[in-house]
Amino acid sequence: MSHRRISSGNKNRGSSRSNSKVRRRQPGAGTALAEPASQAAEEPSEAAGKRAGAAGRGVEEIESAVVRFAGDSGDGMQVAGSQFTTTTALLGNDLATLPDFPAEIRAPAGTLAGVSGFQIHFSSLDIRTPGDTVQALVAMNPAALRVNQADLEPGGILITNRDAFNDQNLQKAGYEANPLEDGSLKAFRVVDVPLTSLTLKAVEETGLSRKLSERCKNFYALGLLFWLYDRPPNHTLEWIRNKFAARPEVVEANTRALQAGLHYAETIELFSVHYRVRPAKLSPGLYRQITGNEATALGFIAASKLAQRPLFYGSYPITPASDILQEIAKYRQFGAKTFQAEDEIAAIGAAIGAAYGGALGLCGTSGPGLDLKSEALGLAVMAELPLVIADVQRVGPSTGMPTKTEQGDLLEALFGRHGECPVAVVAPRSPSDCFNMAIEAFRIAIRYMTPVIFLSDGYLANGAEPWCIPKVEDLPKFDEVSIPDAVNYQPYARNPSTLARPWVTPGSFGYEHRIGGLEKEDITGNVSYDPINHEKMTHLRAEKVARIAENVPELEVDGDGPLLVLGWGSTYGAIFSAIERVRRSGGRVARAHLRYLNPFPRNIDDVLSRFKQVLIPELNMGQLALLLSSRTHTEVISLSKVQGKPFQVSEIEQRIEELLGSAG
């Protein structure tokens, strides 16, 4: 149950992969990353076997693994997880991550509320999700064990920090007896290590205080995991050197802790074997790992380059969108201006002002902020200015669960404003797809002179995956903004094909005009209270957004059968994997994924009508299902999950099997 295995000599699955040569590069450094602890990626496994043999234990080749680091929110689990991820990416594995942390920066130590986790699924195959169950769990204290134990597979490896399993911590986690001693963990391969004392011993000569020394234990744990999965420590060692450059004693201590962890795992017979996961067979190209928020920021910078207009990003810090502001603030050399506003309303107001001035006006937020931006968004609809609002959805309503993911803002994005107030809505389907859809959002906003909402979520924002870096020349082209003659210029005269009004900015001589939130007279843009004019303008604004469908790709359907599984946004990976599993076991099922939510792709009704049933898995109470059931005779079935967590593949797979079973 623990790991899927293929023998090291097996060329069947590995053969095509063995053609994939992996070369690593680091920015600014000419040197390649050192090879894994026991092997070079494309090296025959013999040499690795020899080295491992020297330590008396074998290397077992596996296709993929799911590892979770869990500890107190101050234990450095996110750092350990992301370091494991970077090294894994550089080894050429496909991967997906799921950081999961509390909203409190430091919840009371040792409590269930304070547990922070980082999960990574890595593989020699193409994977799409961070994995349903875990094969190796690091539990830094009893609370971490209690919160995460249920996800560990029977037979899975459980690494615990013996030092943290004292009476006080056990009590805080609600244990009456020590689970390490009462036999309750016998389903697992428990590797109980005094992590704290070993770390203290490893770093004692650095002269660091006890408190700081103890904080190195995440690197000790990382060292154990590096050995267990045969990953080299070099990249992390270099990261430590750069990160703590100003404090040599901290560099020394963390370095020692990491190496001590590796050596401990290698010399003491902690694990009977260790594992190797070969590089994945990915399409040729240059890769990096990227999170959704990073990809979002890069996408917006790219849009600015493609539109040849400076980016203006107004935002008020909010979880889980703050990274986007922090990222874009680094890119002043691209002419990007960031504005940390006094509140959510000022953030969108400033973005509207910048758009009015001819810049790419952008604001980013999460649900509570989208609520506050509603009125200003209506102004942008009335003024018909290009504007992008990035909403990184989180659990609601109200403050909800700020660090947890949900797709609950879809209907708000479409309809959450007073009056008839249509805006375009797009949604990326994976962390790296945030890059593409960020560009799309601005391409549409400018072409149609409309606000566009970009719906990401907490899972995409913080999750990472490998990304084949696109070539700049392959990125979409932006339309040239055409400006009519100043003579008889009319601010609301429209492009006959897109219905967009001209984007004439202040400063243009001879074009002086006034716009605003009051209803506009058709063509002239003057204030008008004429009832017939209002009806006409309402229809024009709706028609303009509807016409976007002519300019975006049709919905692609993969496969056929009576059942279509249709998703949107971040559920893509789980749906994709579920469908693959169903098909492997002989099921006939089709899938499609929406990245354009308003308007829908122009063939949506055709697609729906081809199926008897459509299953819509969503991390909400069935919002897309509600939208679609009003426009199709096909039976719409909602699969809803609102636990602040992404779908597990098995949850979707099971529902599909049920539906296929009952249909068959």
Partner 1 sequence: MSKAGERLVIQEPRPLTRMDFASDQTVRWCPGCGDYSILAQVQRTFAELGLRRANQVFISGIGCQSRFPYYMNAFGFHTIHGRALPIATGLKAARPDLDVWVVTGDGDSLSIGGNHLLHCLRRNLHINVILINNRIYGLTKGQYSPTSEFGKRTKTSPDGTIENPINALCVAIAAEATFIARSVDTWSDHLQAMLRRAYEHQGTSFLEIYQNCNIFNDQTFAPFAARDVRDDRMLLLEHGKPMIFGKDRNRGIRLRGVSPETVDLGNGIREEDLLVHDERADSATLAYLLTRMNYPELPVPVGVFRAVVRPTYERLLQDQVDTAIAEKGEGNLEDLLKSADTWEVT
Site for partner 1 in 480-509 (CB under 8 A): 481, 483, 486, 505-509
CA dihedral 647, 574, 409, 310 (to 10 degrees): 140
Smallest separation, CB 278 to partner 1 (Å): 13
Total of chain residues touching partner 1, rule CB under 8 A: 89
Q: Please, which residues have CB within 8 angstroms of residue 364's CB and are 6 or more apart in sequence?
A: 296, 313, 315, 321, 324, 325, 389, 390, 391, 392
Site for partner 1 in 596-635 (CB under 8 A): none
Neighbour tally for 581: CB within 10 Å: 15
Distance (Å, whole) CA 597 – CA 425: 5
Site for partner 1 in 319-358 (CB under 8 A): 331-337, 339, 341-343, 345-358
Closest among 14, 12, 34 to 24, alpha carbons compared:
34
Pick the closer one to partner 1 by CB: 522 or 618.
522
Options 18-26, 250-258, 269-277, 609-617: segment touching partner 1 (CB under 8 A): 18-26
105 forms part of the interface with partner 1 (CB under 8 A): no
Site for partner 1 in 357-376 (CB under 8 A): 357-359, 361, 375-376
Options 305-313, 538-546, 586-594, 624-632: segment touching partner 1 (CB under 8 A): 305-313
Binder of partner 1 out of 235, 501, 544, 641 (CB under 8 A)? 235
Residue 491 falls in which region: left (phi positive, over 0), alpha (psi -120 to 50) or beta: alpha
90 forms part of the interface with partner 1 (CB under 8 A): yes
367: enclosing H helix or E strand: helix 367-383
Smallest separation, CB 101 to partner 1 (Å): 22
Neighbour tally for 290: CB within 10 Å: 22
Please check whether residue 318 is in contact with residue 290, taking contact to mean a CB–CB distance below 8 angstroms.
Answer: no
- Taking residues 463 to 482 in sequence order and writing x for each that binds partner 1 by CB under 8 A, - otherwise, the string is -----xxxxx--------x-
Could you tell me whether strands 311-315 and 360-365 are parallel, antiparallel, or unpaired per DSSP bridges?
parallel
Smallest separation, CB 251 to partner 1 (Å): 19
92 forms part of the interface with partner 1 (CB under 8 A): yes
Pick the closer one to partner 1 by CB: 207 or 285.
285
Binder of partner 1 out of 512, 550, 554, 658 (CB under 8 A)? 512
Tokens at residue 271, please? 């694990």
Options 109-117, 199-207, 279-287, 621-629: segment touching partner 1 (CB under 8 A): 279-287
Tokens at residue 602, please? 């122009």
324: enclosing H helix or E strand: helix 322-328
240 forms part of the interface with partner 1 (CB under 8 A): no
Smallest separation, CB 562 to partner 1 (Å): 38
| Distance in angstroms between the alpha carbons of the first and the last residue of the chain | 30
228 forms part of the interface with partner 1 (CB under 8 A): no
Site for partner 1 in 160-219 (CB under 8 A): none
Options 295-303, 441-449, 606-614, 639-647: segment touching partner 1 (CB under 8 A): 295-303
Distance (Å, whole) CA 127 – CA 125: 6
545 forms part of the interface with partner 1 (CB under 8 A): no
**SS3 state at 62:** strand
Site for partner 1 in 410-469 (CB under 8 A): 468-469
Binder of partner 1 out of 56, 496, 510, 664 (CB under 8 A)? 510
Distance (Å, whole) CA 302 – CA 507: 26
126 forms part of the interface with partner 1 (CB under 8 A): no
| 604: phi then psi, degrees, rounded to nearest 5 | -60, -40
Options 86-94, 155-163, 164-172, 541-549: segment touching partner 1 (CB under 8 A): 86-94
Smallest separation, CB 237 to partner 1 (Å): 14
Smallest separation, CB 660 to partner 1 (Å): 36
Pick the closer one to partner 1 by CB: 117 or 491.
491
Tell me whether the omega of the peptide bond preceding residue 502 falls within 30 degrees of 0, making it cis: no
| 289: phi then psi, degrees, rounded to nearest 5 | -95, 150
Smallest separation, CB 301 to partner 1 (Å): 6
Options 301-309, 364-372, 420-428, 603-611: segment touching partner 1 (CB under 8 A): 301-309
Pick the closer one to partner 1 by CB: 264 or 287.
287
Pick the closer one to partner 1 by CB: 202 or 311.
311
| Helix residue ranges per DSSP H, 103-233 | 142-148, 167-172, 195-203, 210-214, 217-228
Pick the closer one to partner 1 by CB: 89 or 180.
89
Q: What is the greatest pairwise CA distance in the chain?
A: 88
528 forms part of the interface with partner 1 (CB under 8 A): no
Binder of partner 1 out of 309, 394, 404, 447 (CB under 8 A)? 309
Pick the closer one to partner 1 by CB: 301 or 636.
301
Distance (Å, whole) CA 500 – CA 449: 5
Smallest separation, CB 21 to partner 1 (Å): 5
Q: Please, which residues have CB within 8 angstroms of residue 434's CB and are 6 or more apart in sequence?
A: 292, 293, 295, 296, 299, 428, 456, 460
- Taking residues 23 to 62 in sequence order and writing x for each that binds partner 1 by CB under 8 A, - otherwise, the string is xxxxx-----x-----------------------------
| 389: phi then psi, degrees, rounded to nearest 5 | -115, 115
Smallest separation, CB 352 to partner 1 (Å): 6
Smallest separation, CB 282 to partner 1 (Å): 5
User: Residues in the chain, how many?
Assistant: 664
Tell me whether the omega of the peptide bond preceding residue 310 falls within 30 degrees of 0, making it cis: no
Distance (Å, whole) CA 49 – CA 527: 80
589 forms part of the interface with partner 1 (CB under 8 A): no
